[in-house]
Amino acid sequence: MPLSRSLSMSSLSGVLPAWEDDELPVEELLLFEVAWEVANKVGGIYTVIQTKAKVTVDEWGENYYLMGPYCPHSFSSQVERGEPPHAAVRKAMDALIHSGCQVHCGRWLMEGSPSVILFDLGSAAGNLDRWKGDLWETCKIGLPPEDQEAGDALLLGSLTAWFFKELTDELGGKPNVIGHFHEWQAGLGIILSRARKIPMATIFTTHATLLGRYLCAGNADFYNNLDKFDVDKEAGERQIYHRCCLERSAAHCAHVFTAVSQITAVEARHLLHRTPDVVTPNGLNVKKFSATHEFQNLHSTSKARLQEFVRGHFYGHLDFNLEKTLFFFIAGRYEFSNKGADIFIESLSRLNYLLQLQRKDVTVVVFFIMPAKTNNFNVESLKGQAVRKQLWDTAHTVKEKFGKRLYDALLKGEIPDMASILDQDDLSIMKRAIYATQRHGLPPVTTHNMLEDATDPILSNIRRIGLFNSRSDRVKIIFHPEFLSSTSPLLPMDYEDFVRGCNLGVFPSYYEPWGYTPGECTVMGIPSVTTNLSGFGCFMEEHVSDPAAYGVYIVDRRCCSPEESCHQLTHFMLSFCQQSVRQRVIQRNRTERLSDLLDWKYLGRVGLLLHMIHTDVIEEGRHVNRQTDNVCVHNSHDT
């Protein structure tokens, strides 16, 4: 279903640069998308780019390129080396290569196979000091030598601007190049391109503000004080002033400024002092996840694999019915407060108490999938899976012998004597297997050895509430401090299969500019909990009349106190536990129906947006010069 925009496409034409050739065919446009996470998985922007690549390639064809830093390991496994399809692009690359910079090109091996251009930052590191000086001369922003990430961002931005200068020179100065930059790490390319007056259109997308992430992680009352923060002072106290200046400068220099959600747009207006021109929500490649009528079967298959893992993890304490066990999970970057892990753990304690009080036979196993510092798998966790496999092999061996003896007896027309079918050796084998399942301690809370066990926020709060996987607990916890992989010897499942096997995803985030995790749950037909402080939650509130009926539970974290939000989350989880199997099946069907809302065909199709903007400029003959050439934005109150 198409979505309405709060800002019309045509109204953006006035913020583009002057177009000298009114007859420039749209087919000659080149779109370059620049991000730190091109063929380099770090966070959510990787998912944004990867999932929308197919839609963008379908629209732009060979005229679409992705640009970012070169990472040897990911390049060798994700990119097929090759030449760019355009002669001008090849010549621009050659100009950089002849100057001593290494530039790699190829096809990203995923759906759509977009062309990628990746810069080896190390090959240009000798220019860093000179480029820092150029940046200071350009916009009076200095980069401290100890901030390597900012230095790498400058290398990427300088190489990007250099490339665009060579490219536009090859094209004869025609303004048929569009650069779309994601986040501050790539945003330096905008600053330098505008400062050098390169004839191209620029778009900057913020997925979150730097200062916003820091303030929320520090437990600030962020949303109630957005208009009160002294941005420069707060950034300086956190030693990110230079980064915030770069971010703010990129936002102001871009011809078009976008945000991924309405709540991020409000944040950007206050912290970056520019209101985004349009909100472009993040979507998903729904076709990749869609399984039509099969998604219920996929849920059952993946859940069976999770049940096998739980059998091993809780060996010796498996006194609960796995058929009446629900699997909840939280996943994402380890930002304890921002991701809402604090109120989630507190709510689990209350849920455990209520389930015990009501004498429910439902058990909830909760997975925390958040990467933390570890040195290896927990020995007890590995032993559990080994014991499970040994028991399975033992049962299979006895079953084979039992089946053969039963078969022979029936062939003779005899009612078998059970004592003769199971001989003493079989009984001894089974007794040894039972003794092997005895354990003296409780099942471990974490699957790995934590390097900072004593100070880890999740483990510290689990100790505080006392959920240690004891027999009496109706809520069991498994902290898996590593991203999932199908090659893991412990839990060999990739993330998609894992999500399909769970019953509920819980993401009660305080700071979540968009939030891909509940969206991924939705397109796979898995209900989820989100909040009205996440872009996804706000989007669902706006477009779905009763989100909870469709398996999207929205916790109020904006107008409620933490205690009230915690109570609401506990109520949502308890209500979910009280559903019958039939009710959960019906709800999964309703959840999966929301998939079209999150399809890139309808959400944030930046290629289509730019196409329409450019058409407006050509047809209306507008020549508007946006006053963004001054890239010095130190004083936030003057910008």
Residue 220, pLDDT score: 84
Give the domain range for residue 610. 10-285+601-638
How would residue 616 be classed by pLDDT, with cut points 50, 70 and 90? very low
pLDDT in tens, 238-258: 999 999 999 999 999 999 899
* Residue 625 pLDDT greater than 50, yes or no: no
Q: Are 231 and 149 within one domain?
A: yes
According to DSSP H, which parts of 254-378 are helical? 262-271, 286-289, 295-313, 341-357
pLDDT in tens, 325-349: 999 999 998 999 999 999 999 999 9
* Cα Rg of the chain, angstroms: 28
Q: Are 85 and 121 within one domain?
A: yes
How would residue 110 be classed by pLDDT, with cut points 50, 70 and 90? very high
Classify residue 506 by its DSSP letter.
Answer: E
Classify residue 273 by its DSSP letter.
Answer: S
* Residue 609 pLDDT greater than 60, yes or no: no
Using CB atoms within 10 Å of the CB of residue 473, give its burial: 0 to 12 exposed, 13 to 18 middle, 19+ buried: buried
| Alpha carbons 341 and 328: distance in angstroms, whole number | 13
More confident residue, 623 or 274: 274
* Residue 20 pLDDT greater than 50, yes or no: no
Lowest mean pLDDT among 394-398, 485-489, 629-633: 629-633
Residue 21, pLDDT score: 41
Residue 12, pLDDT score: 37
Q: Are 528 and 412 within one domain?
A: no
| Alpha carbons 252 and 243: distance in angstroms, whole number | 14
Q: Domain count of the chain?
A: 3
Residue 574, pLDDT score: 97
Residue 604, pLDDT score: 52
Q: Are 201 and 312 within one domain?
A: no
| Alpha carbons 567 and 561: distance in angstroms, whole number | 10
Residue 611, pLDDT score: 45
* Residue 639 pLDDT greater than 50, yes or no: no
Q: Which of 358, 419, 378, 350 is nearest to 565 (CA)?
A: 350
pLDDT in tens, 47-60: 899 988 998 898 88
HSE on the CB side for 527, CA within 13 Å? Answer: 28
* Residue 606 pLDDT greater than 60, yes or no: no
Q: Are 335 and 214 within one domain?
A: no
| Alpha carbons 144 and 152: distance in angstroms, whole number | 12
pLDDT in tens, 487-515: 999 999 999 999 999 999 999 999 999 99
Q: Are 44 and 160 within one domain?
A: yes
Residue 286, pLDDT score: 80
* Residue 189 pLDDT greater than 90, yes or no: yes
* Residue 615 pLDDT greater than 60, yes or no: no
Q: What are residue 374's DSSP bridge partners?
A: 450
Q: Which of 236, 147, 301 is nearest to 635 (CA)?
A: 236
Residues in contact with 518: Cβ distance below 8 Å, sequence separation at least 6, in sequence order: 505, 507, 528, 529, 530, 534, 536, 537, 552
**In the block, residue with structure tokens 């499942």:** 493
Q: Is residue 390 part of a domain?
A: no
Q: Is residue 383 part of a domain?
A: no
Residue 608, pLDDT score: 57
Residue 25, pLDDT score: 52
Residue 620's SS3 state is helix
Q: Is residue 389 part of a domain?
A: no
Residue 8, pLDDT score: 31
Q: What are residue 504's DSSP bridge partners?
A: 328
Mean pLDDT along residues 277-301: 80
| Alpha carbons 192 and 210: distance in angstroms, whole number | 20
* Residue 301 pLDDT greater than 60, yes or no: yes
Q: Is residue 1 part of a domain?
A: no
Q: What is the mean pLDDT of the chain?
A: 87
Lowest mean pLDDT among 16-30, 129-143, 594-608: 16-30
| 8 Å CB contact between 523 and 290 | yes
Q: Is residue 384 part of a domain?
A: no
Q: Is residue 331 part of a domain?
A: yes
Residue 66, pLDDT score: 98
pLDDT in tens, 423-445: 777 788 888 878 877 888 899 99
Q: Residue 459: which CATH number?
A: 3.40.50.2000
Q: Are 629 and 534 within one domain?
A: no
Q: Are 66 and 193 within one domain?
A: yes
CA distances from 5 to 10, 281, 602, 603 (A): 11, 10, 11, 10
CA distances from 306 to 155, 239, 311, 500, 576 (A): 45, 44, 9, 10, 19
Q: Is residue 616 part of a domain?
A: yes
Q: Is residue 29 part of a domain?
A: yes
* Residue 553 pLDDT greater than 50, yes or no: yes
| Alpha carbons 534 and 556: distance in angstroms, whole number | 10
Mean pLDDT along residues 110-122: 96
Strand order in the sheet with 103-108: 79-81, 103-108, 115-119, 64-69, 30-34, 177-182, 201-206, 256-259, 278-279
Q: Are 312 and 220 within one domain?
A: no
Sign of CA dihedral 53, 56, 60, 65: negative
Q: Are 150 and 267 within one domain?
A: yes
As given in the structure block, the two tokens for residue 23 are 């007859």
Q: Are 170 and 245 within one domain?
A: yes
How would residue 63 be classed by pLDDT, with cut points 50, 70 and 90? very high
As given in the structure block, the two tokens for residue 257 are 């400024």
- The 3-class secondary structure across 39-107, one letter per residue, is CCCCCHHHHHHHHHHHHHHHHHHHHEEEEEECCHHHHHHHEEECCCCCHHHHHHHHHHHHCCCCEEEEE
| Alpha carbons 374 and 488: distance in angstroms, whole number | 15
Lowest mean pLDDT among 281-290, 407-416, 433-442, 586-595: 281-290
* Residue 287 pLDDT greater than 60, yes or no: yes
Q: How many CB atoms lie within 10 A of CB 109?
A: 11
Q: Are 219 and 127 within one domain?
A: yes
pTM to 2 decimals?
A: 0.85
For the chain, the straight-line distance linking the first and the last C-alpha, in angstroms and rounded, comes to 38
Residue 15, pLDDT score: 40
Residue 624, pLDDT score: 35
